[in-house]
Chains A and B, each alone.
Chain A
Amino acid sequence: MAQFSQGVKHFILALMVFGSLFGGLTKLRSQVNEGQVRGTVIDEIQMPIIGASIQILGTTQGTITNLDGIFNINASIGDTLQISFIGYSRELVILKDLNDLNIQLAPDAEELEEVVITAFALRREKKTLGYAVQDMKGNELTQATETNVAFAMQGRVSGVQFNRTGSGAGSSTKITIRGVSSLTGSSSPLLVVDGVPMDNSSANPSSANAATASGDANTYIDYGDGLGNINAEDIESISVLKGPNASALYGTRGANGVILITTKTGSQGKGIGVNYSLSFAMENPLVYPDFQNSYGVGTAGKFPIADNGSGIPSAEGSNASSWGQAYDGLPYINWRGRQAVYDSRGNIMEEFYQSGNTLTNSISLNGGNEISTLYFSANNQRNQGILPNSQFNKWNFTLRGTHQLTKKLNVDAKMSYIRSSAEARPIGGGAPFNTMIPFLAMTRDVELSDLQNYKDADGLPVIPKNGIENPYWITNEFKNNDTRNRFIGFVSVNYDFTENLSLSARAGVDHYDDFRFYNIPKNSSTNPLGLLQYTDFALTENNLDALLRYSKQLNDNWFVSVSAGGSMLNVKTNTDLIHGTQLKTSGIENISNASIITAATVQTQREIESVYAFAQIGFRNYLFLDLTGRNDWSSALPEENRSFFYPSATFSFVLSDAFELSRSIDVWKLRGSWAQAGSDGTQLYQDRRYLVIESTPTPGGALLAHFPEVLPNLDLRNELTASIELGMDYYMFLNRLGFQFTYYNAVTTDQIMISPISATSGSRSRTFNAGEVQNQGWELTLSGKPVVKNEFQWEVQINLSRNRNSVLELDDDVDELIIGGLTGSGNSVTVKAIPGQPIGTIHGRDFLKDENGNIILDNKGLPSATSDDVILGTAQPDYLASLLNTVTWKGLSLNFLIESSQGGEIYSETKFRMDFSGNSMASTDGREFLLIDGVNEEGGINTQQTTQEKYMLNIASQNIAAPYIEDASYIALRELSIGYQLPDKWLKNSLFRGVRISAFGRNLGYLQRHLTHVAPEAAMYSTRTTDIGIEYLPLPMTRNIGVKLNVEF
């Protein structure tokens, strides 16, 4: 038994040995009673531990165990040997003689944290790293079940910003590590699972304006990202590599940081381990718009029709907003021509959105013997959203096995199948099928019961106001659904030539196929002819890599490890699209029902080939230097600029090992690094002029062709990010207090960007390399255990970070770059990059003011707009902070997480629409008389009164955006969970090995929030880097409360 499992152990630990772990070698000491001591280090199940470090305390002498767990060291009687290995408690042995030793190490969960996963899935001891890495364990992320792993990561890593799109379960998350670096491309980190990159792109809503007019809903649907496809229960740990310094080896896609996910493997042991978990959570909107419930339909405080002929006022067929008279409880004729009582209807939105829920079932089996391990998991998540009829259902199956073919050859293989399907995904943004739009627009006296009969006798929609859809028409008639089938797998082999030399090779594939359908029914109010669309989007990403590793202890002081390898990345996509417009009849959701059918197929392919080498030099186990170099050849660049090289260097100096320091100091480490990372941008086919042949039917059957609006760049070059990072780690009092500080400064130059050019040239924009964007800042993590007493333990972690983003320069003839914004809906804001400012300054019209800052009011008492756009805010937050607390007592544990973002502004389209339509609480003030603070045109104090209605309509017609810019800061109670692990003695004679029950809550509330109507962290409409600073009518973010049961057999 022990013999067999030894082989498996070899495989698992080989990476550590060859990649990083080493210790100083013994130095002969001329002393009496000295001699060579031989020892074997084993773990709790009698397996030899490879690479355990043995050190003679008080000296720099040490060694490590070999593949059989055996070490030899020259020592003297009376010496104290310290035997340590990551993940295990340190063991001290005082030599009484020079006989062989047999040392068993006990596992130590605490010590596990010292190992992190780094580039190429290499496990490394934290102290050898010259850059900041932060990691999370799988069970931290699953305490409160979330539908996307990214949601669960929020607040657990410093310097990382998470923004949701507010589209419910199955939606994407925007992750920004250390600020936005790219002006027009992507700033998303690379996602790597078990060493294999995984596509994390989300089928993003296109820009805010694109889809508004054509009613094309597809561009507003968030179809989810790659992280959302991962089964959280499979995750062993997540490491976040925060910048080029940590990710230089990931090449072009690693410049924005890397999220490394390590999934579980089977473990050898007694029998099969079975884990089952069941979780059920309810979700309800956390933040509703702040509606008023005092005024109904009308204008200037009056009903649209004062008397319908029989003495009662009427609003039948009216298109007015909620600027009518105050509720009086008297009868009136409502919008549908029905006599009703003119009174508050309460928050009808609360009745419209239902209570959602998520049921998660997860089971995993693992087992193994000395030569093989197997891990299998199945997971099902069913979500019923808050939007009626909205559903999301996800299945994950994973099978992973490892096998030792010979003593030197190991194989590790994994296969995952993921199937997700969604019905009626909520639509955000300006598409008319966003259910928020009617609620923000229709008058407050509209009753839900009048909306529920949403069709008239002819099957036509009944709408409470022109230009919007009835929300029940949306939920019952508008259809969208999608299915994704995804296969992810890899095979990796590792061959140990000698103790010092090994070769590993890996082939990974990620393939998914999305089938999407949506149907805008005929007779819709905003699109009477209707349309339907089928999209089949397939992506295949293949990664091949090989790495040859050699490590050697050169002499007593020096350790060297050298690796070289190469990789190939190939991504192909295929989109087939069938689009039908002008539906012939209603109720038939089939392409044959369309009068005009257009089809398109779009294929893309990108390949990057790379070679790289890296070396690590260690001196006496306390000074480490890492050097890396990588050369990429990208298909996305023109031939002469295809190849680009980038190096990095990092050092780590463990002061606490180098010098005799106070005994209270556990670790004191200084680290620093310099790195470059190249990138080929995010767009393809930008380096030559192409001709587009159009497929649409034309008058007379003419063929149409045009050149793209974007002028290509025949001399496109790679982007380059250069970064320095300095930091210090400090742990004391047996890790009771920890402190990690990092300063970084990263500059991205030569960005591949697309900037508008004069339309008079015949093109709209051009592609070029320019620009310089800097992100500098610091990250601080404080961790501690204020109380550790008997079985009571309280752990605290505080993450605090500040990133200062600055556009240092754009191109010579580009003064500013418009990266996003909203125009045309009656209000207009743009989001820009301007030299000297952070990326994402929000621009729009302000109130016209005098030199003292007083608003100038005209003779009607109303303000005017500035003649040009001015900077109204910036989308970048100043600080991110979080506080994690874990309190455990016997089997009970309590976790809570408070998360915050401070600084930065956001434009609130919801606020604009609420104010404009007289639906907001803010619109109830000054309905009769409103005196605005300011000066008149002559410079005197304004005395001219107006009304709130005139004021708010005036702001809209003048396009003044300033009142809708709000502070995006918040402090949120992100998570609270209470769990109880049943005592082992209760389970002694049962089937179970462990039972844990817990209750959890997510997004429980705010300690601080300024954005009036919407959750600030879920306000965006897409995950694109450039869609920042704009809140665009998202579905309310939900508060989730649930219970979870974990059972181990």
Chain B
Amino acid sequence: MKTKIISSIILSCLIAVSCSERLEEINLDPNRLEADAAVPGPLFAKSVTLALHKENFSQLLELIADFGPMAHYFATLYPSAFAADSYYDLKEWSSFGYWNIYWQSVGLCNDVLGLTEPGAEYENSNNNAMARVWKVYLMHKLTDVYGDIPYEEGGYSGDGLINPVYNTQEEVYYDLFDQLDQALLDLESEVPGGFTTQDIIYNGDIARWRRFASSLKLRIALRMRHVEPGVAQQKAEEALEEGILSSNADNAQEISGDQRGNFGSPIYQITTNLFAYSQSFKASEDLVEYMKGNHLYRDGGAPSGEDPRLPILIDENANGEIVGIENGHTAEYYTLHPEFATEGSWFLFHNNQYEPVTIMSYAECLFLEAEAALLGYSGTSGTAAELFGAGIEASMQYLGVDTSSYAADEEALFNALADDEARLERIIYQKWIALFPDPHEAWAEQRRTGYPVVVKRTGDDFEQGITQGTIPNRIPYPEGELNTNYTNVNAARENQGGDDMLNKLWWDRNTLQDSWE
């Protein structure tokens, strides 16, 4: 009897303690919010900062290490450690950080789109359109690096979609126009309650968002002009009519300010936090020599002289000289030339904590417009030569360089050219300088137009990598994607004739450059 009483006391005590509600409460993470508390603003701001700054320094390094050398802004002194400059197989480790971050950013964009769509809790057409434009920006960068991407189904893990199916680059490009057109319909200054502080690009300026959307449309249209010239012209002309960025004040870039935490300029981050790595990268000789005026265009012409932006962009070495390093040498070659490490120049511009990252600039828009003028598109605001000169001037203004005679001299030389291809060559070279340090765009334009000219590497002093010395046309899908989404990514590989770094993208159809290599 006694036993029974005691055991029932103990058991009832225990059962009382095992109250499920108590355990449920303990199982709530005190450090985070439940998902249904999500509001769109912080997710949107995160999506933007994530793509611009990556998550930590190593991924930021990958951005610079992968695409910077391909754009011939940087040259690596330790080729074995940095795949891009050696034309190695980039899928192993190098590009996954970039890939992962962009898709995470896309996922956040999708969350914002869902939260702000008509009928949703935070319905707001402006906010929805901003996310739409931002997603276009992310997606075109992704497809320009890899080709086919899971455009429609990517970034929806919150809905349980974990094996996204791929779309062709052609499908992606056509839909990007649709998205931008939808955004241009939705972006209305009259709609209240748009993002302000949470919009770290334009602080809620809807008119500028419209200009940014049109400018992206122009960029994307020209990118595909060799494969769909008609569509390209139509979309480019629509964009010009709508109105693209019209001054440096319109530049799509992060809000400036000194409360930046870890969101400093990428080059500054490399210099400070990745000092060991910054010693492994130097300014590319191609960039330095072009800006010094020591360059011959394909027709034998040369720049008008030294570019006054050079001392603003690139630092002097200990001897007071600005010296670039040739891209792509072997490890052995560099060990035989240890002086490169001390003689090579590093970067001045953006080597400043507070320098905001530029997403798209007025200068780039002028060069895009100059190309449109060259092609005879309607709606351009001047001749190709005028727009070319204005582009240089806009870039110099942005860098705070006295708009000396350089822009005018260049414009005059340009004006004297009869050959359209030679004119395009000047436009893209100058755009290359203006785009610094955005390696994605510079490398994409290099592939589309062939400028700056990158010669095939031969000889024992150069690493030739798996492309045998040819600059890659795309990057293989990361190993992680092959491990986790094999069926879908493999279909995309087969669709593109394999995962070869030399396979050209859908828009990369300018055959002219093939003969230069």
A interface residue numbers (CB < 8 A to B): 209, 212-215, 299-300, 304, 317-321, 323, 432, 466-467, 497, 501, 503, 525-529, 546, 548, 550, 564-566, 568, 581-582, 596, 598, 601-607, 609, 611, 633-639, 642, 684-685, 687-694, 696-709, 711, 756-764, 766, 813, 815-816, 818, 823-826, 828, 950, 953, 956-957, 959
Docked CA distance A697–B255 (Å):
13
Q: Check B58 against A761 for contact (C-beta < 8 Å).
A: no
Known A-B contacts A565-B10, A757-B162; the reply to A701 vs B275 at CB < 8 A is no
B497 interface hit (Cβ, 8 Å):
no
Contact A699 B272, beta carbon cutoff 8 Å: no
Contacts of B463 in A (CB 8 A): 957
Task: State A566–B15 Cα separation when bound (angstroms).
Answer: 9
Given contacts A636-B27, A700-B197, A957-B80, contact A550 B276 (CB under 8 A): no
Chain B residues within 8 Å of A, Cβ to Cβ? 2-3, 6-7, 10-11, 13-15, 17-18, 20, 22-24, 26-35, 37-39, 41-43, 45-46, 49-50, 56-58, 61, 79-81, 86, 92-93, 96, 99-100, 103-104, 106-108, 110-111, 149-150, 153-158, 161-164, 197-200, 203, 254-257, 259-263, 272-277, 279-280, 331-332, 335-336, 338, 341-342, 356, 463, 478, 480-481, 483-486, 488-489
A697–B262 CA distance with the chains assembled, in angstroms? 8
- Report the separation of the CA atoms of residues A801 and B155 in the bound assembly, to the nearest whole angstrom: 49
Question: Quick one: which of B10, B261, B480 contacts A696, CB cutoff 8 A?
Answer: B261
CB nearest to A209 among chain B residues: B58
Given contacts A606-B26, A690-B34, contact A953 B263 (CB under 8 A): no
Q: Are B42 and A702 in contact (CB under 8 A)?
A: yes
Contact A706 B46 (CB under 8 A): yes
Distance to closest chain A CB from B234 (angstroms):
31
Bound-state Cα–Cα, A529 to B262, Å: 13
User: Is A828 touching B31 in the complex (CB atoms < 8 A)?
Assistant: no
Contacts of B200 in A (CB 8 A): 698-700, 702
Find B260's partner among A639, A642, A698, A761 (CB 8 Å cutoff): A698
Residue from A497, A596, A700 whose CB has the most chain B CB atoms within 10 Å: A700
- CB closest residue in chain B, given A638: B27
Contact pick for A759, options B22, B32, B481, CB 8 Å: B481
B335 touching A707, Cβ below 8 Å:
no
Identify which of B10, B154, B336 contacts A762 (C-beta below 8 A).
Answer: B154
Q: How far is the CA of A635 from the CA of B158 in the complex (A)?
A: 24
Shortest CB–CB separation between residue B318 and chain A, in angstroms?
11
Q: A527-B273, A758-B164, A761-B154 are in contact. Are A828 and B99 (CB under 8 A)?
A: no
- Say yes or no: A321-B335 contact (C-beta < 8 A), given A702-B200, A709-B104: yes
How long is the Cα–Cα vector from A319 to B331 in the complex, in angstroms?
A: 12
- Is B272 within 8 A of A763, CB to CB? no
B197 touches A526 (CB 8 A): no
Cβ 8 A contact of B33, one of A299, A633, A693: A693
Measured CB to CB, the nearest residue on chain B to A826 is B81
A566 touching B11, Cβ below 8 Å: yes
Tell me if B37 and A691 are in contact (CB < 8 A): yes
Q: List 27 A–B pairs whose Cβ atoms lie within 8 Å, in order of A's numbering.
A: A213-B61, A215-B273, A466-B341, A605-B26, A611-B18, A635-B26, A690-B33, A699-B49, A699-B255, A699-B356, A700-B200, A700-B257, A701-B197, A704-B42, A707-B35, A758-B162, A760-B149, A761-B103, A761-B161, A761-B164, A762-B106, A763-B157, A766-B162, A825-B81, A826-B81, A953-B80, A957-B86
B99 is contacted by which of A609, A703, A759 (Cβ under 8 Å)? A759
B480 touches A759 (CB 8 A): yes
A566–B8 CA distance with the chains assembled, in angstroms: 12
| Listed residue (A635, A638, A699, A701) with the most chain B CB atoms within 10 angstroms of its CB | A699
The answer to whether A702 touches B45 (Cβ under 8 A) is: yes
Contacts of A642 in B (CB 8 A): 20, 23
Whole-angstrom CA separation of A289 from B222 in the bound complex: 59
A317 touches B23 (CB 8 A): no
Of all A-B residue pairs in the complex, the 5 with the closest CB atoms, nearest first, are A762-B107, A705-B42, A758-B485, A213-B58, A697-B261
A822 to chain B, nearest CB (A): 11
A564, B272: Cβ atoms closer than 8 Å = no
Shortest CB–CB separation between residue A535 and chain B, in angstroms? 16
- Closest B residue to A700 by beta carbon equals B255
Determine whether the beta carbon of B58 is less than 8 Å from that of A759.
no
Q: Known contacts A709-B104, A758-B481; is A528 also within 8 Å of B37 by CB?
A: no
Does A699 lie within 8 Å of B263, measured CB to CB? yes
B162 touches A761 (CB 8 A): yes
Contact B14–A813 (Cβ < 8 Å): no
In the assembled complex, which residues on chain B have CB atoms less than 8 Å from the CB atom of A550? 3
Which residue in chain A gives the minimum CB-CB distance to B262?
A: A696
B155: nearest residue on chain A (CB-CB)? Answer: A762
Q: Quick check: B103 and A957 within 8 Å, CB to CB?
A: no
- Shortest CB-to-CB span from A353 to chain B, Å, is 24
B108 / chain A contacts, CB cutoff of 8 Å: 706-707, 762
Residue ID in chain A nearest B335 by CB atoms? A299
- Tell me whether B480 and A763 are in contact (CB under 8 A): no
Given B156, B254, B273, which contacts A761 in the complex, CB threshold below 8 Å?
B156
Residues of B within 8 A of A323 (CB): 335
Chain A residues with CB under 8 Å of B341's CB are 319, 466
Q: Is the CB of B272 within 8 A of A528?
A: yes
For B28, list chain A residues within 8 Å (CB).
Answer: 685
Indicate if the CB atoms of B6 and A548 lie closer than 8 Å. Answer: yes
Q: In the complex, which of the residues B56, B158, B197, B259 contacts A697, with contact meaning CB atoms closer than 8 Å?
A: B259
Q: Is B197's CB under 8 angstroms from A759's CB?
A: no
Distance in Å: Cβ of B138 to nearest Cβ of chain A: 11
Q: How far is the CA of A347 from the CA of B32 in the complex (A)?
A: 52
Q: Is the CB of B58 within 8 A of A685?
A: no
Q: Is the CB of A603 within 8 A of B485?
A: no
Residues of A close to B261: CB separation below 8 A: 596, 598, 696-698
A816 to B87, CA, bound (A): 29
CA distance A131 to B156 in the complex (A): 50
Please give, as numbers and ranges, the residues of chain A lying within 8 Å of B15 by CB-CB distance. Answer: 611
Residues of chain A contacted by B478 (CB below 8 angstroms): 759
CA–CA, A529 and B256, complex, Å = 22
Which B residues are CB-close (under 8 A) to A639?
Answer: 20, 23-24
Residue of B nearest to A949 (CB): B332
Distance A957 CA – B11 CA, assembled complex (angstroms): 66
**Cross-chain contact B31 with A689 (CB below 8 angstroms):** no
Closest to A568 in B: B17
Q: How far is the CA of A425 from the CA of B464 in the complex (A)?
A: 44
Contacts of A693 in B (CB 8 A): 32-33, 42
Q: When the two chains form the complex, which single residue of B11, B22, B31, B483 contacts A602, counting CB atoms closer than 8 Å? A: B31
Q: Looking across the interface, which residue of chain A has its beta carbon closest to that of B56? A: A214
The reply to whether A690 and B32 contact each other, CB–CB distance below 8 Å, is: yes
Contact across chains for A697 and B272 when beta carbons are under 8 A apart: no
Check A698/B49 contact, CB under 8 A, given A525-B275, A684-B29.
yes
Residue of A nearest to B163 (CB): A758
Which residues in B have their C-beta under 8 angstroms from that of A761?
103, 107, 154-157, 161-164
Contact partner, A503, options B6, B31, B34, B277, Cβ 8 Å: B6
Are B41 and A703 in touch, CB under 8 angstroms?
yes
Contact A957 B484 (CB under 8 A): no
- Contact (Cβ within 8 A) A501 B3: yes
Question: What chain A residues lie within 8 Å of B39 (beta carbons)?
Answer: 705
Q: Which residues of A contact B277 (CB under 8 A)?
A: 213
- Asked if A828 and B259 make an inter-chain contact with CB atoms under 8 angstroms apart, the answer reads no
Chain B residues, CB < 8 A from A707? 35, 107-108, 111, 158
B100 touches A759 (CB 8 A): yes
Docked Cα-Cα span, A704 to B260, in Å, equals: 13
Q: How far is the CA of A818 from the CA of B479 in the complex (A)?
A: 12
| Alpha-carbon distance A637/B3, docked complex (angstroms) | 34
**A816-B254 in contact given A565-B10, A826-B81 (Cβ < 8 Å):** no
Assess the B154–A760 pair: CB atoms within 8 A.
yes
Return B162 CB to nearest CB of chain A, in Å. 5
From known contacts A213-B57, A318-B338, A757-B162, infer whether A526 and B276 are also in contact, taking CB-CB under 8 Å.
yes
- Asked if B273 and A300 make an inter-chain contact with CB atoms under 8 angstroms apart, the answer reads no
- Which chain A residue lies CB-closest to B342? A317
**Are B164 and A687 in contact, CB atoms less than 8 angstroms apart?**
no
For B23, give its contact among A319, A467, A526, A633 (CB under 8 Å).
A633
